[in-house]
Structure 1
Amino acid sequence: MSSTLPDSIPDFQPDPTLINDDLAPTPASQRTYSGWEMASLWVGLVVGVPTYYLAGSLVDLGMSWWQGILTVVTANIITVVALGLTGHPGTKYGIPFPVLARSAFGIHGAHIPTLLRGLVACGWYGIETWIGGEAIFLLLPKSIKNSSLSNSIPWLGTSPIEFACFLVFWVAQLVVVIKGMDGIRELEKYSAPILIILTSALLIWAYVNAGGFGQVLSMSSRLSSSEFWSLFFPSLTANVSFWATLALNIPDFTRYAKSQKDQIIGQAGLPILMGAFTFVGLAVTASTQVIFGRVISNPIELLGKIGGISTMILSIIGITLATITTNIAANVVAPANALVNLSPSLFTFRRGALLTALLGIAFQPWRLLQSSESFVYTWLVGYSALMGPITGIMLADYYLIKSRNLQINDLYTLNPVGNYFYYNGYNLGAIAALVIGILPVIPGFLEKIGVLNSIPELLVMIYNNAWFFGFFSSGVVYWAFSGLKATKQMSDPFLPSTN
């Protein structure tokens, strides 16, 4: 393994508990992601059922079509800046997110942010897999859907046939997962044009059958000026949160980019992609009112209603590709690498991915979806309270404190004199800053899920802006802690250094 690391320290040998093939810096031979392949990754991520739902939710809450699109595009402009900044060290040093986290949180402390990110991903993995299984179920013949196998079993929480469809989709994803990052790259590369074609076909179908997009363009806002702004900021937070997970572990992908130019160009189109797919979701959903006499916001249900064997086959292909490409890239890589980082000798990427898939079942996503108060304001905004502070701390560490200069060898050593060993492997300043960024958001989350009846308006505002609050508060506090520590050590050079 030492041959893959820089030779800045003579005879340096990385600690075997901190490295394996999946955590070692990516060699030049594996840096093959072009700008197109990075862009293909985002096409596969954006074109999916959750994005479609997110688009319609803003209009359902009262926004006009253009206000909804403006909110989505604004959020994704913010997100793409975070993606570019976080992706930089991945491309520069070839290191994944768990290794980068060691710089800010410490060799052992890095397990905290990586496992938190992995936990959110496991929940998403189960939800996405359930959506894929739901697509299979809804497109089954009526004779099967109306059989006794469709009756829910109380202890299971769903019906045998729906659970079977869930498991079929679960297995299908593993075929790609076991091929590792190469399999993910190939899937994203070749599925991107297919997804663009299928999405365009759906949009054309809606346009022709609804006689144009007059329905969506005539939708006006149902909100007053004050109501709009009270809705805009939590909606902005929710939309930033939608990709806050990827904004955190994007080094897992940019480490394979050919250059900084490729990773930046490949991600720069995210606001355009999200804006375009948001319009597709809004236009098609609004068109169903004209075509079927009622609004059908569930794309899976809509595809089932269009009918025809060829349409059903295309629908299965489209939903399957859209869900698998989103799920594997967004929700497998992060927890798999987090487990590898936890124990490189025990886990490989494939083993970590398999455990992630198993945890996805354990989350029982059918129960999560039934008990979730709101996809936007409970799930998305809720977990952004974790993602925002971690992102703020890591960016403050890399840009403000380390000035983009990392000692790569020190990221793979347990030597106490290493730059990232801190206090017994933990950077207490980063952990304290993380707690400070999370705690004020908790009352708002508890109020959302019904544990608390009412909270002060200030705490409501903090929760509605959870990602932004955590990002800036934790980042600033961490930067301040680091400055105080440096000042203290300069004033008393005889104090033992904790790095």
Structure 2
Amino acid sequence: MSIKTQREVNGLYELTESATKRITGSKYYNKDLAPTKLNQRSWKTHNIAALWVGMSVCIPTYMMASGLMAAGLSWWQAILNILIGNLIVLIPMQLNSHAGTKYGIPYPVFARLSFGVKGANIAAMARGLIGAGWFGIQTWIGGGALNSVLAALSPAWANWSGGIWVSFLIFWALNVWIAYKGPETIKFMESWGAPILGFLSLSLMAWAYFSVKSHGHGVMEILNMPANYSQGDFWKIFLGGLTANIAFWSTLALNIPDFSRYAKSQKDQFMGQLLGLPLTMAAFAFVGVFVTGATGIIFNEFIWDPVAVIAKIGSPAAAIFGAVGVVVATLTTNIAANVVATANDISNLKPDKISFSTGALITGFLGIAIMPWKLLSSAGAYIFGWLGTYGILLAPLAGIYIADYYIYRKKQIHVEDLFKGKDSRYWYQNGYNQKAIQVWVLCALPAVMGKFINSLAFLAESGWIIGFLLSIIIYPLMMKDEQNSVLSEKENLTITEFITEEVI
């Protein structure tokens, strides 16, 4: 007789009440990491699309094309690179979303499938530490925008050297407070943030258009910035840029279950991401290209920083409106893309001791500890150089999760076991799956070598794609003969009985 631990409705699963009671006392469980109940999955297509609009419309996206254009690409080649990169990263993102929606599990718990109940901390913190770094960077950027608003309102503030530090701490506290309030507050903020950011983008475009016309120039002059790469360097620049663009959201390709577990259906999460990510990234990057091109005509210099552009406009009302928009853009991106994942990852270290809210507070303090004002002393080199580096380290993780869930497990998960100790089928050896760790290192190695060996530079330039594809191939081969040390062969064969219950 099988033990019913999960119930299913329209392809979505939740734990039974008896199974939930059994795991609540586990040291690997807390209410924030617990699988969402079916009635908690309320995010529809527009909520998820708004989430992506809110995350994509940010200063790094605005400036994304600038790095590629500075490297030699034309504006349309840069936009095409961004669009292709985001369509590519959307593939692992959609695939990894499925488990979150189907079983209601967040990223650190999803990572337990392949890395083991304890080993998941290694993979989760690899993503979490990067998220904490980005949190500090975005908070410093948002603090700078807030400082611009206050300076426009008060000349005394503008002349006060401590203003930037107070603005940074105010913006930091706002980020942490919203994250501390939890997912529903984040959902509300993203839903309202998306239309505000859309209006800001259109306003910047309108200002650029009419300002250029008033200077007696045509719009096409903005877009007549030609490519200037050396002969034979196109693919080197394009592939390197593609890796950086894929890496831009490679962190979310891992922890997307943190959000997809709230989706009402697989269709909602799929369409929400499809409509919200690639086009928004390409469109807002185009806003950056267009407005920056206009600054070259209006101010005789190309200004890639939108905060600096807004300050140059000269109107206090425009400065306030624009800087408020930048603050909203940074806030929506920072909380959803950086705080949620890192807080969950930190909570997973000691689920019985650390809640999501506590993890959000720790993330906030880590954001200060990394001293983002020093990291951003050379923003372009940091953002674009760093993207390519951490992307090649995270790519194999995305492949491992997909190979484990789709190929090795055929999308079958025993959720209760994800919260158990030594008697869990996901315990492996002392809580760690050594094979997953080995595949991770092996598949990241070629791209890492390309970073240090000039003759192998092409491996780094295409590092994300190489690491991702290699891990999908190698992981199932490594796991082919894996035998579960806890469950007998007969029990393994009845896993479908365990995970299928009557429709309610």
TM-score, normalization by structure 2: 0.88
For the Cα contact (< 8 Å) 2:67–2:380, is it kept in 1? no
Query: Does 2:271 match 1:265?
Result: yes
For the Cα contact (< 8 Å) 2:145–2:324, is it kept in 1? no
For residue 378 of structure 1, the aligned residue among 377, 385, 395 is: 385
For the Cα contact (< 8 Å) 2:118–2:432, is it kept in 1? yes
Indicate how the Cα distance of structure 1 residues 10 and 102 shifts in structure 2: closer, same or farther if over 3 A, else same: closer
Aligned counterpart, 1:106? 116
For residue 475 of structure 2, the aligned residue among 475, 478, 483 is: 478
Aligned counterpart, 1:426? 432
Aligned-pair distance for 1:477?
2.2
Aligned counterpart, 1:338? 345
For residue 315 of structure 1, the aligned residue among 306, 316, 322 is: 322
Aligned counterpart, 2:33? 23
Query: Does 2:182 match 1:172?
Result: no
Indicate how the Cα distance of structure 1 residues 371 and 312 shifts in structure 2: closer, same or farther if over 3 A, else same: closer
SS of alignment partner, residue 291 of structure 2: helix
Indicate how the Cα distance of structure 1 residues 308 and 29 shifts in structure 2: closer, same or farther if over 3 A, else same: same
Task: For structure 1, list consecutive stretches of 5 or more residues without a partner in the other structure.
Answer: 151-159, 448-454, 494-499
For residue 237 of structure 1, the aligned residue among 234, 238, 243 is: 243
For the Cα contact (< 8 Å) 2:395–2:464, is it kept in 1? yes
The Cα RMSD (Å) is 2.5
Deviations 1:246-299 (A, max 9, x none): 111010000000000000000002211111111111001001011111111111
Deviations 1:135-163 (A, max 9, x none): 1234415854774x53xxxxxxxxx4322
Count of residue correspondences:
471
Aligned partners of 1:28, 1:322: CA distance in 2, in Å?
31
Indicate how the Cα distance of structure 1 residues 425 and 299 shifts in structure 2: closer, same or farther if over 3 A, else same: same
Letter in 1 for 2:413: L
Aligned counterpart, 1:398? 405
Aligned-pair distance for 1:94?
0.4
Letter in 2 for 1:397: D
Deviations 1:355-391 (A, max 9, x none): 1011000000111122667145421011112210111
For residue 262 of structure 2, the aligned residue among 240, 251, 256 is: 256
Deviations 1:305-344 (A, max 9, x none): 1122221221232011100000000000111001111111
For residue 307 of structure 2, the aligned residue among 300, 303, 320 is: 300
TM-score, normalization by structure 1: 0.89
For the Cα contact (< 8 Å) 2:208–2:294, is it kept in 1? yes
Aligned-pair distance for 1:443?
4.4
SS of alignment partner, residue 471 of structure 1: helix
SS of alignment partner, residue 374 of structure 1: helix
Aligned partners of 2:228, 2:18: CA distance in 1, in Å?
62
For residue 163 of structure 2, the aligned residue among 146, 157, 161 is: 161
Residues 350-359 or 212-221, more deviating: 212-221
SS of alignment partner, residue 222 of structure 2: helix
Aligned partners of 1:243, 1:348: CA distance in 2, in Å?
25
Deviations 1:369-427 (A, max 9, x none): 226671454210111122101111111100110111111111111133x2201111110
Deviations 1:68-89 (A, max 9, x none): 1111111111111121101000
Indicate how the Cα distance of structure 1 residues 96 and 63 shifts in structure 2: closer, same or farther if over 3 A, else same: same
For residue 463 of structure 2, the aligned residue among 463, 466, 478 is: 466
For the Cα contact (< 8 Å) 1:15–1:414, is it kept in 2? no
Aligned counterpart, 1:284? 291
Aligned counterpart, 2:133? 123
Query: Does 2:142 match 1:132?
Result: yes
Indicate how the Cα distance of structure 1 residues 47 and 371 shifts in structure 2: closer, same or farther if over 3 A, else same: closer
For the Cα contact (< 8 Å) 2:403–2:475, is it kept in 1? yes
SS of alignment partner, residue 480 of structure 2: helix
- 1:321-332, aligned counterparts within 5 Å? 321-332=328-339
Task: For structure 2, list consecutive stretches of 5 or more residues without a partner in the other structure.
Answer: 7-13, 490-504
Aligned counterpart, 2:185? 183
Aligned counterpart, 1:153? none
